[in-house]
Amino acid sequence: MQPSQHINGSQHNVDKELPPAKSAKTPDLEKGLAPLILRSRNSSTVIQRMRSNKEDKFIEKLAVVLSIVICIITLPFSLLCLFVVVRQFERAVILRNGQVYKNHAFGPGLIFYLPCVDSVKFLDLRTFCYAVPPQEVLTKDSLTVSVDAVVFYKIFDPILALLSVTDYKSSTHYLAATTLRNALGTRQLTEVLANRPAVSQQVFNFMKNITRDWGIEIVKVEIKDIRLPLQLQKAMAAEAESTRLANAKIIVAKAEIESTKNLQLATDILMDNPMCMQLRYLQSLQMIAGDKTHTIVFPFSSDLMKNIFI
């Protein structure tokens, strides 16, 4: 009996020492369970977020209820803080607990808000006029000019103007200055001086595409003045003066050519008929007599002198 017990005990020890054999299906099972584990984790995070959102909404509702209760308790003095007047050219955006209330702007007229949980932002819908200060611009042909412009803009969406940009006025002003510099840097000086509306339209189109996302509408952009350096003004003035003198000389030369041709044609016509010369002579005398001068010069032809003295 003892040998058999020894053998059974040794086999039992060997079974304990050997690791359990893994089945071939274990990796497949792990791959199949991995998506389930990820889904369970994601679902747990979603549940936590939903709980936090519910808690936040509950706190917000509680704050609104407490604000209403305080306003009711403090009647009629709370009526001085519950209503505000929005003028015809304004719109009011109410932020309740930091969020836009009812997703639209209020006004014009009398609006109601809770002073404890609401904050009211007023936005002017009238057209703003901004004079861009003089900008020192280097043109495409490497000439420095100073250009200033005027930009007209207005708000078409108060909520976008409040939420999309920190300060819509300063942002629009800086954008106008930089856009003007960039537009003039791609053009030569002659193009800028000769075609201001095209430069203004280029600035207008570029600003319009950007400010649309801010709730701002660009109404018009106009270049007001272009200032040139003194030396450049003198050079351009000298160039213009020389060009005008050259054109004047060309015009005078053309006029002399035309007058010579006409005199030649008139001479040919007068030589064909001698009586034409006599009529021309009498016409000249009439013109001289009409001037009431003391000295009258009578022209005589050589043929007439020969006839008199021979």
180-208 pLDDT tens trace = 999 888 888 888 888 888 989 999 999 99
Does residue 112 carry a pLDDT above 90? no
- pTM, two decimals, is 0.60
Tens of pLDDT, residue by residue over 235-265, are 777 777 888 888 888 998 998 898 888 888 8
Separation between Cα atoms, residue 120 and residue 222, nearest integer Å? 35
As beta bridge partners, residue 91 has 123
pLDDT of 9 over the 70 cut: no
Q: How far is CA 11 from CA 7, 17, 35, 209, in A?
A: 6, 10, 42, 85
How many Cα atoms are found within 13 Å in the side-chain-facing hemisphere of 34? 5
Distant-in-sequence, close-in-space partners of 81: CB < 8 Å, separation ≥ 6? 71, 115
CA–CA separation, 86 vs 107, rounded Å?
A: 5
% of the chain residues with pLDDT over 70: 74
Interatomic CA distance for residues 263 and 271, integer angstroms: 12
Looking at per-residue confidence, does 301 or 237 come out higher? 237
Q: Identify the bridge partners of residue 216 per DSSP, sorted by sequence position.
A: 155
